[in-house]
Amino acid sequence: MKVRQHLWFRRDMERAIELYTALIPGSAVGWISNILTDQPNGPAGSVKFAGFKLGNRSYMGFEAGPFDYLEHNSSVTVECATEDEASRLRYALGKGCPDDRGGVTDPWGIYWQFQVKSPAADVGTSAKAQTEHDGDIVAAKPRAAAA
């Protein structure tokens, strides 16, 4: 099974994807295509589709412009290693004007959130129990700290 996140664009999808793939390591454009015949979604060539990867995760892009009347509220969450990395992406995508949650909306209407991974999250033990995939409760296992 393959699951892909969809991002919806009103305009300039190709330019947006080019910027995203240039900014985020492990990213690449796979393909971009247009509908070739008139359809209820619009005339031939008016709707574009794309397949691409951001940070090694598969995405689909759709640009329907004025023929898409819905608000899709697409968003991407990026886990960054450092606050500097988050700030660099925040500025490149939203010109450094984050909202009260630290996220930005890019020129194409995609909302980006940035989480900075805490080095402390990988070290130590949790006082709480963890739930396994089968629903059993088991005690948290200590993790070895890197020296």
- Predicted local distance difference test score (pLDDT) of residue 14: 94
Q: Confirm if 44 and 34 have CB atoms less than 8 A apart.
A: yes
In angstroms, the Cα distances linking 90 to 24, 49, 53, 94, 99 are 12, 26, 19, 6, 11
- Predicted local distance difference test score (pLDDT) of residue 75: 87
**Average pLDDT rounded to a whole number, residues 39-58:** 84
123 versus 9: which is more confidently predicted? 9
Q: Confirm if 35 and 45 have CB atoms less than 8 A apart.
A: yes
44 versus 94: which is more confidently predicted? 94
pLDDT at 76 over 60: yes
SS3 content of the chain, % helix, strand, coil (to 5): 20, 35, 45
**Average pLDDT rounded to a whole number, residues 124-143:** 37
Residue-level length of the chain = 147
| Euclidean distance between CA atoms 24 and 112, whole angstroms | 12
The distance from CA 83 to its chain's CA centroid, rounded to whole angstroms, is: 18
Q: Confirm if 17 and 50 have CB atoms less than 8 A apart.
A: yes
Tokens of 132: 């396994």
Question: Which residues 6+ apart lie within 8 Å of 127 measured at CB?
Answer: 140
